[in-house]
Structure 1
Amino acid sequence: MARNSSFRFKQFTIQQDQCAMKVCTDACVLGAWADVTDADRILDIGAGTGLLSLMVAQRNVYAMIDAVEIDAEAFFQAGENVEKSPFHDRIKLFHSAVQEFTSEHQYDVIITNPPFFQSDLLSPLDKKNIAHHAKSLDFSELLESIERLLSPTGKFNILFPVEEALQFCTKAESTGWYLTHKLTLFHHSGKKSFRQLMTFQKTEPVHNVSVDEELYIYETDGTAHHEDFKKLLKDFYLIF
């Protein structure tokens, strides 16, 4: 996906020149895929441009959404993106680290595209380190924050590269979380998977059922978008 200064969707536009984390395909898949059904209150951890908050606001037409962002420039840009959207009256932004964020209520759903390059070399740009690396938010802190903010019957949706997803899943399951839904993302058939999207909850799923799916962005030719990808993103992408 091109890293333009703005990205236009069918119902809103994302300005992103002040954000280290730009609009990317895997984040769009998370926003379209995450289970936000029947949620009255949703929390977006690490809002960045506000992309995920806006996508889930479009999908769930009544939920109130809180979004937490630690970086000041991203926080202000997310605020501008939200304010110019049709969903501005249902999204509230907070300039805070999630470890320090408190709320008077618990959330039915949490969605997050967290810092994840735990083992990569650090960038000399601190803003990029915060956005891309688990420098300011490690797995334990993230899970502790989610458990504190999520309702006992709630669920959280998260995105990681494949290696980090395995590490995170091991950590989550060791602290009492159940993986109930997983989507493995590929560029196209013949390529290795590059992202995993996961849904966790504290309550054991009925009959121990866990759904494991795969999604290809492109057809085998690497050019035409796969029909399943088009179906998932058709309400958002102008090209579909």
Structure 2
Amino acid sequence: MLCELVGKRKLAEKIYDFTVQCPEMAKNARTGQFLHILCGGEAYLRRPISICDVVDKRYIRFVFEVKGVGTDALAKYELGSRLDILGPLGNGFELHPEDKNAVLLIGGGIGVFPLLFLAKQMKGRATVLLGFRNKQSVIMADEFATVSRNVFLATDDGSFGYHGFVTDVLKNILSSNPVSRIYTCGPAPMMKLVCQIAGENALPVQASLEERMGCGIGACVTCTCTVGGQRKRVCKDGPVFDGAEVEWNG
């Protein structure tokens, strides 16, 4: 669909926050799904970008980092432009309102973006753990604080929040708090460790994977990964998988 760009902000260096008007997509969007966006310029293939939020069942918000020619072209669109978007795509996070104990949302870097919509769906029940390189890269912490019970921040260099990795914060919380389940999105090494810690504590964990995509609908088999001993397509079978079944590289 052609969706009008009605909101545009630059949150940090190379980080852009877009809101598009697309009622049909917004009504069907689930947490953890993504949009496949035709960026224009020299980018021939669409780019997959996670849904950050849905507003008033009419607007979809997505936040992205400029990494190459595709996202660079996307960042140059101005308000009123129409973006060619396919979506919402993929299988998102599964919600479990029956959970009695804390539910942890763990994000790292640009992986924090899709967790905001999930936190809102939790209606205040989620505890959010966010990890960044340094104070300058901390994004959206205030927004998470408005929709989550507790928000913990960690930076690699200690310039803001806890000095260390977000997985260290996770271990501290698990040592003294009952937890029902974990959701995570971020760099693969971080998620691998989160899933390992979850396994050691017999906790279910859902992980949102990121892979290079071609078609975005499962036809080209470009974005495969191994889950439960089988090859899966991140775009069609995921991007959210049972973290205990993901075979992490490295």
Name the TM-score, length of structure 1 as normaliser: 0.45
Counting strand residues as a fraction of each chain, which structure ranks higher? 2
Counting helix residues as a fraction of each chain, which structure ranks higher? 1
Name the TM-score, length of structure 2 as normaliser: 0.44
